[in-house]
């Protein structure tokens, strides 16, 4: 499968429930997460359910565009509570696959499952529209820095 995408936005939240903060650059730490993010420091909403596949989460801008088109719901990248908003990346096809996020090596672990928590924090009925397209949970296999605009490509 040949494709080439890019990082549109990088977001972290320092603690579960805190607003997402837009970053231009982030440090991804192998086996850990994004420096400063709630799941890297153990203070995320689901941190009591530890899982190595929750180191970083990605979602496609194309999904947000489709929700707006098909459901008339505007869901902004920061409202998704995902760390990375991608463009041109087939996330649903990257489970158990390795790929490069800039110079950082990731492995897609599992598709993200939408939850009612997202509806509570956004006040938007997004659970159903996000079924089967809520993003990708990944493991970080090689540390490094990423920037908005960096390429995303198969390993």
pLDDT in tens, 4-34: 999 999 999 987 778 899 999 999 999 989 9
Q: Which segment of 15-19, 68-72, 130-134, 141-145 scores lowest on mean pLDDT?
A: 15-19
Torsion sign over Cα 57, 84, 74, 93: negative
Owning domain of residue 52: 5-154
The secondary structure of 24-46 as a DSSP string is SEEEEETTTEETT-TTTTT-STT
Residues 125, 42: contact at Cβ < 8 Å?
no
DSSP classification of residue 95: B
Residue 121's φ and ψ, nearest 5 degrees, are -75, -25
Which CATH number do you get for residue 97? 2.40.33.20
Q: Which residue stretches of the chain are H helix?
A: 61-71, 116-122, 127-130
Mean predicted confidence (pLDDT) in 139-146: 97
User: 44-79, pLDDT tens digit by residue?
Assistant: 555 555 566 779 999 999 999 999 999 999 999 999
Residues 114, 56: contact at Cβ < 8 Å?
no
CA angle 15, 47, 145 (to 5 degrees): 65
How many domains does the chain divide into? Answer: 1
SS3 29: strand
The two tokens of residue 96 are: 């158990």
Mean pLDDT taken over the chain: 91
CA distances, 43 to each of 79, 82, 90, 109 (Å): 18, 15, 29, 21
Residues 6, 87: contact at Cβ < 8 Å?
yes
pLDDT of residue 84: 98
């Amino acid at each position: 499968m040949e494709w080439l995408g890019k990082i549109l936005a990088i977001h972290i939240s320092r603690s579960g429930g805190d607003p997402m903060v837009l970053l231009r650059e982030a440090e991804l730490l192998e086996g850990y997460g994004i420096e400063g993010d709630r799941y890297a420091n153990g203070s995320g909403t689901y941190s009591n359910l530890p899982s190595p596949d929750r180191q970083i989460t990605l979602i496609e801008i194309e999904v947000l565009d489709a929700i707006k088109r098909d459901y008339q719901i505007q869901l902004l990248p920061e409202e998704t509570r995902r760390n990375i908003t991608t463009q041109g990346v087939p996330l649903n096809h990257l489970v158990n696959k390795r790929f490069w996020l800039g110079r950082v090596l990731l492995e897609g672990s599992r598709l993200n499952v939408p939850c009612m928590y997202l509806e509570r924090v956004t006040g938007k009925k997004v659970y159903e529209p996000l079924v089967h397209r809520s993003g990708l949970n990944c493991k970080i296999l090689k540390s490094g820095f990423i920037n908005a605009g960096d390429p995303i490509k198969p390993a």
